[in-house]
Amino acid sequence: MQQLIISATTTGLDPLTWTIVIVGIGIVFIALLIVYIFFRYVLTFILNFRFRSFARKKGIDPAEIHNAKTIQSGEVNAAIAMALYSYFNELHDVESGVITIKRVSKNYSPWSSKLYNMKNL
């Protein structure tokens, strides 16, 4: 039964339909591949080039800056982590968790009246 339904639906399609579908999927995958290559390789190359040119302008060896930038002691990392922990814990207020609902004495309001919403025919 399913074979009949599939063959009936595919016979009504134009012969160029499958070509258009394959070309469309191919374009999407090629575009994704180009974006991946750009972010993975080209952007990394550009950033490293700018980093080296910045180091040359300052008169410093780029390898020295890279080593000094990545080496941090455990005490520095612990101090940063503790500061972030205390900062994010102080952002929230301590609340009681009790919700009170007060009844409004005036229940009628002309804004919610159905009379004004009706059309006169």
User: In whole angstroms, what is the distance from residue 92 CA to residue 103 CA?
Assistant: 30
Structural domain spans, the chain: 36-73
Rounded Cα–Cα distance for residues 25 and 21 (Å): 6
Give me the pLDDT at residue 20, please: 92
Q: Smallest Cα–Cα separation from 90: which of 98, 82, 100?
A: 82
Q: What is the pLDDT of residue 29?
A: 97
The reported pLDDT for the residue numbered 17 is: 87
Q: What is the pLDDT of residue 56?
A: 75
Chain centroid offset of residue 21 CA: 29
Cα–Cα distance for residue pair 44/76, rounded to 1 Å: 28
What does the pLDDT read at residue 107? 63
How distant is the alpha carbon of residue 110 from its chain centre? 45
pTM above 0.85? no
Distance CA 54, CA 60 (A): 9
Each residue of 49-101: pLDDT tens digit? Answer: 877 777 777 777 766 665 555 567 788 888 999 999 988 887 766 667 777 77
Question: Are the C-beta atoms of residues 116 and 110 closer than 8 Å to each other?
Answer: yes
Per-residue pLDDT tens over the stretch 4-62: 555 556 666 777 888 999 999 999 999 999 999 998 888 888 887 877 777 777 777 76
Confidence (pLDDT) at 92 = 67
